[in-house]
Structure 1
């Protein structure tokens, strides 16, 4: 190859034109080290054993050459990517969907445990080109003959060491045994323990071993701040925060493309120079939007994770996580959009009570604290506006002395005062009133946003206020749960309290975030919050209950609630009114 790796670009690689066009549209220009070495090797047909830490661009390293192998006219699975967790499966699938956006006939199916079989089976039966999934669900689909690997051209194991740590090594071997001999194989891992090397030696054919030196994670120069969503809507909080924050450029992260448009529109109505950045924009529109951000015509971008990858604008001083990401690594990628080129930056996140446990994992991953703060209330914002106006007037007075029409304006003011029709106070008050109409200097006192019924303090049958269940030691309200299986049951002498204690202690998790538990003879099911960070999964995998390893893993089974004992009708007391159409509606 004539060009050195340091100067190699995506256009120098033998990638399909549709893929190159999409990379340009997404702002991908310079390949990372793992991409520079892996993409050419995989395009040439070699098996690859890649060792690189998380966040180095491994998805594109195996995803882009895999797309080059696909024949869109064949309605069958041609690329298989195995990941250890559902969060990573979703992330990889979204990235591959983005890379293949301009390739007609190429679809991506994501399969994982804890979700309904129906939609996943339907996607596979339609003959999707790419399947991304977790080991357990992939084996289930293979056993049901729904997932067919006969036409497979590329098989990838992503985060192989994670799968080893989570006890999936036997499942991986089962899956790889079903991969045709003619299929190309790639294994990527942050570390290379002996078991992973043995796996590579068994299933990879003379692989090219690519090692990317790990970069020590320095202590972040990015200040992290968090606001608990309460007392006002997220949109109100966002506009107030932007008004009082001295940002140069800001990047706001939301979940969906529609959210980018909705939030950007509301910001524009509030007078902010905001614009959405979504996958719906073509290359020219995206380049124009980023160019306007750099020039200052736009000061705020509202974006999703996928389109913001590769965005490098040194002027971005603030990143705001309006919606939290689905995994902790995505959080690192997000806040990395600020603090560029040796500058400092600020990352702000909005979180709900049920998401509080994620903050400590952000701290561990970034090696920096997350500080709590409060969004200004109405009185504080009023004072801020008044002070801003005063400073603007003072600055204007200094600048007016050199203005070409300064003498004429002073003469006009003198004539008004001399006529006696208006006093200096009348004129100043009239100007302040006009300013107040455009931008109120005295805001109405905040009225608390009504919360969902499940989050409001309730009353007992006597009408006395009682604490929410979460404050009484029960389960926290409004939490989305996944069901996990642990290898500890009645035969081991386990009780629900033992399981709660082990999870709460080992994961530093408040017991109110642990849901229903159902005990069986040799295992148990437990509900835990969705989006459990990978480091917590590792800890709980090895944690013990009654001297027995828990072996925590996602389960397709569902926890069945125990039936309530019958109550004596005469002891029920007065019949309660049911919530109807007047129930409060909650907004973000």
Structure 2
């Protein structure tokens, strides 16, 4: 960041009322300007107002409450001046890490996470040392209150993060227990993506004339994310399709979403059986096991993690190149939240959806709800998969030969004796060993059935008089082949082309010949000697958000 940009960033955050020791770390963290939620909430929080913020995850709300929180505490003062309640251990850890980064200019400030599923030792030691900021889940915070290891008598600032999620998970009574333990003169910031009646009642009971900030729900996807969908069929189910994707498409790290913890465990077992090293992330796991999976994903020790929505909350791994919706999300916001874990920091990301035939309407709803195209996913073909498998085997052999492992000489001598005494071809022996390693499954896939790109134009439906009057009649003259710039990858079908040509261009389906839909373009037989006005209209017509830009095919030399 240039000196000018640094100064501008410092100025923009300083204008909100933040002191310099809080704005300086933001530059090092890559911040350029306050997000809308930060600009709206930081000033009233600095003014010690209670606040209700209705905003989605991923809008910058952690900084929106963390910076005023840090401004409110005394770095040399007593413990537990600020408390943040979060619904999950993952989110608590993420918030704790963020506050620690924002507090880089406050060297005496200590931030401590407290959460269940792990021992009390480190948490008790951290509390006894006097952490001014405590971030925790409701249940474990109550445990420490009952033990006497957490004292809220000096509390100045209390944050309820993702309050609706705490309600959904059954923690709302615990939240009220914590609120009752807090002193009456404390500032409260409540953040929630939605405002169900119970959350409104909670706010009315415990917040004092709160400032209310509402930002529109996040229902759009980042421009750096490409979304593609595959509908099971052709003899392959969703798992078969996923395996093809894993074998044929390069990826750095992949997060696969399923609905249930049982689904996560089953899918991981199936993937591992197919030779794809993967790990599960769900709510029934011990905290240390969950942390180990996330760290392995972050460090590249595992490339595939299968997760439930709740277990993945707060998961932020920069190297995620693919997010796969193996089970479709229930709504648009859930979809946006899932796929928003890729395509971050300017990197491109891939969002993949696997659906059954009956789930097609949900794909349409997601596309309309996000106002963004979900392209048709073309799975890698058998030829590509077989080439990849061969290359992988060759690479493994070359790597092993280059390393000359400890047993190499032993096995070489053994096999030399074995082939000589039995008069066997060494290649046959090597092939037999490879078969043992492969097991009973075939090494190469069967060739894909020949594609059927030529689709007969559907029979015309009964037409109204007005529609018939708009059609252009062509007499004789034969057919000419035209190329249009829309194909399989854009999700187009023959009926889309027929409908557009009839309604937009005025060419009746009975005047069309064959239609060949290829990967990125299609070929259509149209009447020869089209009038110039029709050709111009044809070129300017759009199908599946693609301009046809029609041209005769093959092009004249």
Give the TM-score of the pair, scaled to structure 1.
Answer: 0.43
Give the TM-score of the pair, scaled to structure 2.
Answer: 0.46
